[in-house]
Chains A and B, each alone.
Chain A
Amino acid sequence: MLDGVARFWREIPQRYNLIGNRCGSCERTYFPPRETCPYCRRKSLGKMKEIKLSGKGKILTYTIIYVSPEEFSNQAPYPIAIIKLDEGPKLTAQIVDCKIKDVKIGMRVQSTFRKIQQDGNIGAIYYGYKFKPCRGKK
């Protein structure tokens, strides 16, 4: 089944380059970008500035997925984590290049570019972020 490609094309800047935004009023950073800041609300209308996040952060919590969705079955079991990026926003992503037993709460990680999903064998391929352990002590 060929899903609409527009929905995932639209978010390429977020999935490829971690483009978020910052409130021009209170300077809070958001990922994915928001139309308005939940704290400043109307004061932030038209004042949200695009910003590229560094991709560095740490693991807040994680799980190892054993029973996975079909598209991910050839990678199971795999770690999924909630990561707090250095700039503040949190996101959910797969952890790669790391042995399952080495994934820990508090681990420093950095983003990497990987295939996330594909629409069967004839549909589009969707790329985006996964996270791997930081090189050295960063």
Chain B
Amino acid sequence: MEDIGIISYGAHIPRYRIKISDIAKVWGKDPDTITNGLGIIEKTVPSPDQDVATISVTAARAALLRCVINPQDIGAVYVGSESHPYAVKPTGTIVGEAINATPILKVADYEFACKAGTAAMQTCFSMVKSDMIKYGLAIGADTSQAAPGDALEYAASAGGAAFLIGKEKVIATINETCSFTTDTPDFWRREGSRYPAHGGRFTGGPAYFRHIISNAQILLEKMGTKPSDYSYAIFHQPNGKFPLNVAKMLGFTKEQIKQGLLCPVVGNTYSGATMIGLASVLDVAKPNDRIFLTSYGSGAGSDAFDLTVTDQIKKLEKNKAPLMSEMIKNKEYIDYATYAKFRNLLQLE
């Protein structure tokens, strides 16, 4: 059986940060209660000239800098997000043009709340497996909007990652992927509506936990593995607490999820969340490390992946693009007023 998997990867998070405590103070909440309760210290904020297209292009270009392929050999680009710049006109074509992969290229934009990016990965994986394409580029990125004063405002942030999938010089083999999907309305945004709405505590048990746990158990059974067989585990991270809880419930340890848990210092990058978590893991992973990734998208569904890092990872020129740790350190704080201006919270006529 051929090795099919990730050939290269790239990620991007914006430079600006706002402290969760600063947001809490604006709404008259106790900063410590919020910060500790959510397990988030600060989150990324996109500047007015950044959006899902620019983040996707930056992540994609980072992936291509790290390996040596002809971009014309990329057969498909799929971008998953819930904050695509256009409601109609794909982000994927902008990315395709910006990485010189056009015009012989299959493109579509994906949407499934926070798991749109991992769905794109599954599609690229299957297209490479069926020999329809040589390389596929799967991107998950978001600059998600949250209503001012809503609980989501503490977490909704911006960022994304891109994964180049193929058969040659694979750095992380995708051993298996599976999904668990139901019609569960835990979090949504209606057409024409500016901000998402959600079911409060309903987003926990019946939504996030049910789908991740069910899907993870299916994958473990399919692979005949136990949590301790994995070096790293990455779970969707809407806040800093849920992934800790779900890991414990499944039998994974804090050490296993640490490298891939970025929410406390980055926030929830929605379609980028598990993707940048995986990028962070690949930044440090060694050959033969086994990775367990389970994403979650409201509405609802989960995609799980079992990956094994290969020797090829040593040959990848990782330092040609910034590592997650470098991007996390490279930051500039802004206050709530600037945040409101950048995020267009002030309605201008």
Contacts and interface: CB of A to CB of B under 8 A. Distances in A.
A adjacent to B, CB under 8 Å: yes
Interface of A: 12, 16-17, 74-75, 94, 96-97, 99, 112-116, 125, 127, 130, 135
A127 B94 contact: yes
Given A125-B86, A127-B54, A116 B97 contact: no
Contacts of A74: 48, 341-342, 344
B321 to A, nearest CB: 9
Nearest to B57: A113
Nearest to A113: B57
Q: Which 7 A-B pairs have the closest CB atoms?
A: A113-B57, A114-B49, A115-B49, A16-B98, A74-B48, A114-B54, A97-B15
A113 B61 contact: yes
Interface in B76-91: 85-86
Nearest to A115: B49
B50 A114 contact: yes
Interface in B1-37: 15
Interface of B: 15, 47-51, 53-54, 57-58, 61, 85-86, 94, 97-98, 100, 322, 330, 332, 341-342, 344
A121 B100 CA distance: 28
26 contacts: A12-B97, A16-B97, A17-B100, A74-B341, A74-B342, A74-B344, A75-B48, A75-B49, A94-B49, A96-B47, A97-B15, A97-B330, A99-B332, A113-B57, A113-B61, A115-B48, A115-B51, A115-B53, A115-B54, A125-B51, A125-B85, A125-B86, A127-B53, A127-B57, A127-B98, A135-B322
B293 to A, nearest CB: 27
Contacts of B86: 125
Nearest to B322: A135
A74 B330 CA distance: 22
Nearest to B51: A115
Contacts of A17: 97-98, 100
A25 B283 CA distance: 46
A110 B310 CA distance: 32
A72 B330 CA distance: 24
Contacts of A96: 47, 49
B50 to A, nearest CB: 6
A135 B341 CA distance: 28
B130 to A, nearest CB: 31
A135 B323 CA distance: 12
A4 to B, nearest CB: 17
A12 B100 CA distance: 11
Nearest to B343: A74
Contact of B58 (A12, A94, A112): A112
Nearest to B15: A97
Contacts of A113: 53-54, 57-58, 61, 98
Given A74-B341, A97-B15, A125-B86, A115 B50 contact: yes
A127 B89 CA distance: 14
Contact of B49 (A12, A16, A99, A116): A116
A130 B50 CA distance: 11
Contacts of A94: 49
Nearest to B341: A74
A130 B49 CA distance: 10
B20 to A, nearest CB: 23
Contacts of B15: 97
Contacts of A130: 49
Nearest to A99: B332
B327 to A, nearest CB: 11
A55 to B, nearest CB: 10
Contacts of B51: 115, 125
Contacts of A135: 322
